[in-house]
A and B are shown apart, each in its own frame.
Chain A
């Protein structure tokens, strides 16, 4: 086995999390650490691209158009020919091809270091080629999704399963470190068509989803380390939106609105398209995945695993969104939902649970995820600012329902706190009504509630 200090370092591009994991283990186990995956792309000596998905094709096209300063290995199903680029056929059946490629690169790098020319580039830079030329080479391959590595050994398979089970733990006990959001000033090439006019024709109407108490915990999630419904633990029942994907998205939204320009926020796992002019976003994965990702605490140092976020401007006619036009949704709807899944029944750090909270106006509930008692909370708060504990008490509901509502309303700028409000206990808006009237309203509400879900 290669001594790790002698290993080459590689950066993996255009791969999903499972492919990254597989490649990491492939290099570690089958290639015996001939190369290891670099924590930071900048530190890598070699760039490895998967060329069989649309996103990775775009990444590779962009890369090859620039000055190439590091050796490039392309993994491709149908072969890939490009000057000075090493192509390996997928799926990688044995480590031999990869080892041979790494050996070849190592020789080149050794020669470079012997020259000590002072030139920082590790290999002779390739002359950039024309965009059309690069795209035509890359688009020879149709986007497909096949495993990068085939014939995974039993040992490797077990390792992957073990890693994946560990990942579940990571999701529950979040432990990845967030890197700075890297905002690229240059327009990264995304080669396909997004038609703004066509987008307007697509109905994006999504009716609100109404959650009742029975499904709340299952759908929103809960935290283990604090009982958010115990007033003596309110002090610790908060979360910091900035430490989660919610904060990253919020920053990205602020940036794109400030610049009034379309942006793309990407991680290894997902892409989020942001369109400030229409105040819409498109998340390229399922809501189930968003929910899982939302719950991962990103800012935490005890396990050094980094998540990089790239925020790129993009021009609207060069983004590939395939048939996803109907998946655009309003930024408000997305942020509201993201905040609910991040909150998991906690309140956001910017809110002091001892002080009254105000609600600027009613949320546009027909387009939002409606958490239990959200309408009642809104009705009460638009009239009188109150502490979250008081609201729960007045409406006789669990504090977690107030916390999650405030988290969502705070995320879209509807809820806030001001020192001018008293913190005295307010009661729910109740007029003196006859028993018949009360019964009538309750029966009507029950009927409507049943009909709106």
Chain B
């Protein structure tokens, strides 16, 4: 049976683990380490390997939710995780030093995968720092042929994460009827 995956990616502290936790039907499996030694000021813990959650559908099928490692030294795992992925959720921490640079980095890193599937971008921590705005993020795509959904989200709020995933799926196919 084919594996159906949705990949969550983004820099350290963007809220990938929290977002997966928000929509997973099972307790999320985490492989965290103390942030102390690797990512100071990024929160109590960060994902050094990956997060894993599941959405269980009414017909019994499962959608696997994978969160990529936040640390670049684990990038070798990305290709493995992407295999069979339906689309990419990119989370950006708006309160980081240069969120636009973060976004460009991940867009570049996942360019091929996005080209074959779709992407939806969630901007977190906007209550801490409201600039850049959502419009500023959209402006980054003005010269490209991409026009992805970009939403302000609180990774702890299920409906926020759910809407982002819905937008990803409609980007894949707006003909889907609920």
Contacts and interface: CB of A to CB of B under 8 A. Distances in A.
A362 B147 contact: yes
A161 B150 CA distance: 50
Contacts of A367: 151-152
Contact of B138 (A361, A370, A376): A361
A388 B138 CA distance: 24
A446 to B, nearest CB: 5
A431 B173 CA distance: 7
Nearest to A427: B175
Interface in A431-453: 431, 433, 438-449, 451-453
B152 A445 contact: no
B84 to A, nearest CB: 13
B127 A364 contact: no
Contacts, number: 130
A441 B169 contact: yes
A68 B163 CA distance: 57
A277 to B, nearest CB: 11
B170 A443 contact: no
B103 interface: no
Contacts of B171: 379, 429
A203 B127 contact: yes
Interface string A171-207: 0000000000000000000000000000000011101
Interface string A370-409: 1000011011101100000000001110000000000000
A50 B165 CA distance: 53
B163 A208 contact: yes
Contacts of B165: 448
Given A361-B138, A447-B57, A433 B173 contact: yes
B57 A444 contact: yes
Contacts of A378: 149, 167, 170
A361 B150 contact: yes
A17 to B, nearest CB: 36
B98 interface: no
A358 to B, nearest CB: 11
B158 interface: yes
- Which of B4, B127, B153, B173 counts the most chain A CB atoms within 10 A? B173
B150 A444 contact: no
Nearest to A428: B175
- On chain A, which size bracket covers the interface? 35 or more
B157 A448 contact: no
A430 interface: yes
A380 B175 CA distance: 9
B75 interface: no
A441 B174 contact: no
B59 A443 contact: yes
Contacts of B151: 362, 364-367
A375 B63 CA distance: 21
Given A362-B167, A451-B159, A451-B162, A445 B176 contact: yes
Interface in A402-434: 427-431, 433
A210 B158 CA distance: 13
A371 to B, nearest CB: 13
Interface string A41-66: 00000000000000000000000000
B130 interface: yes
Given A366-B160, A375-B167, A448-B162, A443 B127 contact: no
A111 B44 CA distance: 81
A278 interface: yes
A392 to B, nearest CB: 13
Contacts of A438: 176
B57 A448 contact: no
Contacts of A380: 174
Contacts of A429: 171-175
Contact of A445 (B127, B153, B166): B166
Nearest to B161: A452
Given A440-B57, A447-B55, A453 B159 contact: yes
A208 B174 contact: no
A257 to B, nearest CB: 14
A443 B174 contact: no
A412 to B, nearest CB: 10
Nearest to B159: A452
3 cross-chain pairs, A with B, having the tightest CB-CB distances, nearest first: A430-B175, A452-B162, A379-B174
Interface of A: 203-205, 207-208, 210, 278, 360-362, 364-367, 370, 375-376, 378-380, 382-383, 394-396, 427-431, 433, 438-449, 451-453
Given A431-B172, A448-B169, 20 more contacts: A203-B127, A208-B163, A278-B130, A362-B147, A365-B149, A366-B153, A375-B170, A379-B149, A394-B175, A395-B174, A396-B177, A429-B173, A430-B175, A431-B173, A444-B57, A446-B58, A447-B57, A448-B162, A449-B162, A451-B159
26 contacts: A205-B127, A208-B163, A360-B138, A361-B141, A361-B147, A362-B147, A362-B148, A364-B150, A365-B163, A367-B151, A376-B170, A376-B174, A378-B170, A395-B174, A441-B176, A443-B57, A443-B59, A444-B63, A445-B169, A447-B57, A447-B58, A449-B162, A449-B178, A452-B159, A452-B166, A453-B159
